[in-house]
Amino acid sequence: MQIIDLHCDTISCLMAAGDSAGLRRNNLSIDVEKLVAGQAKAEFFALYVDREDHSDPLAYCLLMLDRFYQELAQNADTLQYAGSYEDLARAAEQQKIAAFLAVEEGGVLQGNPANLRILYRLGVRLLTLTWNYPNEIGFPNKTEAYRQTGLTDFGREVVREMNRLGMIIDVSHLSDGGFYDVARLSTKPFVASHSNARSITDHPRNLTDDMIRVIADTGGIIGLNFAAPFLGTAPVSQISDMVRHLNHLRKTGGSDVLAMGTDFDGIERKLEIDNMGEIGKLTDALRKARWTPSEIEKLFYRNALRLIKDVLG
């Protein structure tokens, strides 16, 4: 089964490893060999910046961006940059995996819309508006104090400019109040790239049933996150919990809202599905749960294809 994964943090891990690791083959959950084994159609590589670790988050983001393009050049036989649906289709024609660029932390914009436009020109096509700290765009859903706080004036400007440019707005990590601001403002479908169902696991990073329906109504998608705390109470990320969340997402938002957002290499490595090469375990579990082939295809790649075409063109 082909897969489009909306979120991984592999580039961050490679930055930390320096020259001792590369994307071709490594001990992480994602490398080129594992992507091939998992029949990956496209991977969204997030440039994750912890603002508390970097005094100039934009500068560090650009270093990560450079590392992304270096890795693509070294693996040009297998990976190909994609910034649009046409790019993805072209990569598939050449039997290559499409590599999309994402940024996880809107604070890299430093309150300047010009930086958003610059990142777009450099190839970034998805922006996760916040991570775990407040930034110039809005607030995370990390504490009760932030939960109902909406977007800032700059955050609303960012939503409008992302719509104009043709960038995917990602509400994972964003406060509940910010979520509804995006829903009111955005004229295009948006995503929660790596979030699950709050009704199944009561974690602030997960989505309420109403949020699931709102995303579905806009034509957006929700990427299943493999992190154990977002799936259930077990210390290990379990396939059975993934199926529970997916069943609820399907029941609440319909099969067109389903997508994959593993969060590989950004989560603790206590996983029944340890890496992208083992993704077939989830396919098998869904077949046993009597999911239809069409539903599984929508989850793994067809819905993401539609979203990419609708937003990126």
How many helices (H) and strands (E) the chain has is answered by 14, 9
- Extents of the domains making up the chain: 3-311
pLDDT of 57 reads 96
pLDDT of 229 reads 98
pLDDT of 41 reads 99
Q: Which of 243, 312, 287, 256 lies closest to 42 in space, CA to CA? A: 312
Query: Which residue numbers in the chain have pLDDT < 70?
Result: none
pLDDT of 142 reads 83
Cβ atoms within 10 Å of 11's Cβ, excluding its own: 22
pLDDT of 178 reads 99
Strands 79-81 and 40-48: unpaired
Cα separation of 171 and 224, whole Å?
14
What letter does residue 140 receive in the DSSP assignment? B
pLDDT of 143 reads 78
Helices (H), 128-253: 144-147, 153-165, 176-185, 209-218, 228-231, 239-253
Angle separating helix axes 209-218 and 176-185, nearest 10 degrees: 20
Cβ atoms within 10 Å of 226's Cβ, excluding its own: 29
pLDDT digits (tens, 9 = 90+) for 33-45: 999 999 999 999 9
Cα separation of 62 and 196, whole Å?
30
Specify the pTM.
0.98
CATH code reported for the domain at 3-311: 3.20.20.140
